[in-house]
Amino acid sequence: MKDILTLGIETSCDETSVAVVKNGREILSNIIDTQIPIHEKYGGVVPEIASRNHIEAISRVFKKALETANVSMQDITAITPTYGPGLVGALLVGLSYAKALSLANNIPLVGVNHIQGHIAANYITYKELEPPFLCVMMSGGNTGIVHVKDYTTFEMLGKTRDDAIGEAFDKVARVVGLGYPGGPKIDKLAKEGKPNIELPKTHFDNLDFSFSGIKTAVINLHHKMPDINKADLCASFEKTVTEILIENVKKAIKLTNLNTIVLAGGVSANSYIRQEFLNLKEKGIKVYMPDMKLCTDNAAMIASAGYYNYIAGRRDNLDLNAVPNLKL
């Protein structure tokens, strides 16, 4: 059978990325141009600045992706851009570029949900991984437990009622003075601390999450006790959010009888969270997590999800629009 090459295009937030992936699992190229240094001085992503920088970067990143993969547009089977969720102006840059490529080269356009992309990062890391499984989605914009029924069918079993987990990491980091992006900085500092500060957990009867209570508790503690040990605070925050995640995962396992857990999203790069999930293996649970460089936004994961959408028969027209709050 002829190889299927998908061209993934990702511009939903602050990474401009283009990738070529073979048969959904093999990366031929994955070029990522990050804007983190540009947004760092504002303490977070500034949407208008993100859009402008995507425009500046996209052609260069696209050319490099083809060059590195050593392919031309004639070799590409489908063009698979992220069309949501994300920042609307940022999404529109990648989506418009994808539409132009599709029209000019007469190649099918296949839209990809960014969250589906984060899940697919695992298909690249583990060639043998197949649905069904439970996915713990933990990114900067989304948090929840997803029942992945097959490659393109998902059921959200529980989601955050307020902040996404990455948002909580970033806000805590900003308040304690670590800067943006907060997740990796908390990860590093927490290693020097002890998780000896009690922080609140919000429980629900279903599989929903809440991270605003713990975030506010950390911020209040820091304001009331300016001399508090920051490393201990970070370690305690990390430990408590991990407990919140794992408690809900255990409920999801009971509910579905599935015992394969797959992590996804930027926060799955957190070393403490990774270790605590790996410890679940001792209980007979199968645990998968993306390669570190595929945890945060990249176009290879989008091209992988695009491959599965393509073989499931999805085709989009040029009227495909950016959907900032797209659901799975």
Task: Provide CB contacts within 8 A for 55, sequence distance 6+.
Answer: 93
Q: What's the rounded Cα separation, in Å, for the pair 38 and 296?
A: 17
Cα separation, 43 vs 277, whole angstroms: 30
User: Measured from the CB atom, is 66 or 164 closer to ligand KG4?
Assistant: 164
Considering the rule CB under 6 A, would residue 178 count as an interface residue with ligand KG4? no
Q: Which of residues 293-312 bind ligand KG4 (CB under 6 A)?
A: 296-297
Residues 98-157 that bind ligand KG4 (CB under 6 A): 114, 118, 139-141
Task: Number of residues interacting with ligand KG4: please give it, by CB under 6 A.
Answer: 21
CA–CA separation, 113 vs 121, rounded Å? Answer: 13
Which one of 16-24, 60-68, 149-157, 262-270 is the stretch in contact with ligand KG4 (CB under 6 A)? 262-270
In contact, 11 and 93? CB cutoff 8 Å: yes
Question: Nearest distance from residue 267's CB to ligand KG4, in Å?
Answer: 4
Measured CA to CA in angstroms, residue 160 lies from 95, 163, 168 at distances of 27, 7, 11
Strand partners, 34: 15
Under rule CB under 6 A, residue 33 binds ligand KG4: no
Cβ closest to ligand KG4, residue 5 vs residue 91: 91
| Smallest distance, ligand KG4 to C-beta of residue 212, A | 15
Q: What's the min distance (Å) between Cβ of 51 and ligand KG4?
A: 16
Task: Report the candidate in 314, 304, 309 with the shortest Cα–Cα distance to residue 22.
Answer: 304
Shortest Å distance, C-beta 71 to ligand KG4: 26
Half-sphere exposure of 29 (CA within 13 A, CB side): 23
Q: Which residues bind ligand KG4 (CB under 6 A)?
A: 13, 114, 118, 139-141, 166, 169-170, 181-184, 187, 265-267, 269-270, 296-297
